Structure 1
Amino acid sequence: MASNNTLVVPQANAALQQLKYEVAQELGIQIPQDGYYGYMASRDTGAIGGHITRRLVQLAEQQLSGSARFGK
């Protein structure tokens, strides 16, 4: 079965990977070098995903508020 998770902007993948490692380091969570997350606790992977989402929303809000001020 093919995956439906296609990236709209493929170049963003590297930035998201970097963000994942930064957030994990900030939280003190070690990401497996082999890329297999099966041995990680769901709590840890959820914490990483939650922090990434918060940071992306914060960046989007900053961009929107900046464009709203200067777009008039």
Structure 2
Amino acid sequence: MAQNRNSNQLVVPQATAALDQMKFEVAQELGIAIPQDGYYGNMATRDAGSLGGFITRRLVQIAEQSLAGGTQ
């Protein structure tokens, strides 16, 4: 993928692969094509927002299940 110029830093850098995998899974569920070259400039803002929203929703769901002692 292209170089990430995002100023956000992961608390657990080893989670990068898992987050990328989740991004691809959610995009596939939504029918959004992820650019193979890593350049998101041609992606519609609506698609990028939907993707981010669903990823956030899924991360919150995983955290809630973890706190409740359940499994994914």
Q: Write out aligned runs for 1:41-56 (5 A).
A: 41-56=44-59
- Match 2:17 to one of 14, 24, 29: 14
Distance change >3 Å, CA 29–CA 62, structure 1 → 2: same
Higher-Rg structure is 1
SS at match of 1:36: coil
Does 1:59 pair with 2:62? yes
User: Aligned pairs, how many?
Assistant: 66
| Structure 1 stretches of at least 4 aligned residues deviating more than 3 Å after TM superposition | none
Structure with the higher helix share, 1 or 2:
1
Structure 2: stretches of 5+ with no match in the other structure: none
CA RMSD of aligned residues (A): 1.7
How far is the alpha carbon of 1:7 from its aligned partner? 1.4
Using structure 2 for the length normalisation, give the TM-score.
Answer: 0.84
Structure 1: stretches of 5+ with no match in the other structure: 68-72
Using structure 1 for the length normalisation, give the TM-score.
Answer: 0.84
Distance change >3 Å, CA 51–CA 3, structure 1 → 2: closer
Identity %: 71
